[in-house]
Chains A and B, each alone.
Chain A
Amino acid sequence: QQQVKQSPQSLIVQKGGISIINCAYENTAFDYFPWYQQFPGKGPALLIAIRPDVSEKKEGRFTISFNKSAKQFSLHIMDSQPGDSATYFCAASKTSGSRLTFGEGTQLTVNP
């Protein structure tokens, strides 16, 4: 019940295209859902996060869509750029400040 499932494992997109990464969770106690971006040899960097009281959150080219009834959430990267090439992790936790449970990661490659 603590798992977060992420797909696809890898994704190749052309420059200017839309990258979509999906995650699903089981634990209904989760109510905080962040996305992290990680470049090789670096630590994960917080990109954007959402709480279940909204269905969508947008920050620049990054949008989270959240479907509470389906227990799914997704990251959309609009106008994808080669500099977006990285590994993306979804995560979930209880807002009480408890640990993050991470998805398995998606390796995104944006071709020029």
Chain B
Amino acid sequence: NAGVMQNPRHLVRRRGQEARLRCSPMKGHSHVYWYRQLPEEGLKFMVYLQKENIIDESGMPKERFSAEFPKEGPSILRIQQVVRGDSAAYFCASSPNLGSNYEQYFGPGTRLTVT
């Protein structure tokens, strides 16, 4: 059973470009969470999605950031017009959220560098 997959692992973008980060959850998991980790800091929640639904986006910046989890395919975190402050590691986690099992399993992350 493959773990949470994220790609690309490393992404370099110039200021003003768009960044697209992809996350495929573990098999059997239909809930995806995105977190951001700035250098030397802890993880901060961004958004929680189920298939075709955004459940909680209270951690998402109001502008330039969006996320989706379509019926088919991976979840995508999209950052438009990137700025240097967007440089960070972006992790997604998946969970089955069934019964009493709410454990979140993390992917390896995408390290975004904005030049």
Contacts and interface: CB of A to CB of B under 8 A. Distances in A.
Verify that A and B bind, or say they do not: yes
Interface of A: 6, 32, 34, 36, 42-46, 49, 89, 93, 95-105
A100 B33 contact: yes
Contacts, number: 56
Contact of B41 (A96, A100, A104): A104
A64 to B, nearest CB: 14
19 contacts: A6-B42, A34-B104, A42-B109, A43-B109, A44-B43, A44-B106, A46-B104, A49-B103, A89-B42, A96-B102, A97-B102, A99-B33, A99-B48, A99-B56, A100-B93, A100-B104, A102-B43, A104-B42, A105-B41
B91 interface: yes
A46 B45 contact: no
A81 to B, nearest CB: 23
B42 A99 contact: no
A2 to B, nearest CB: 9
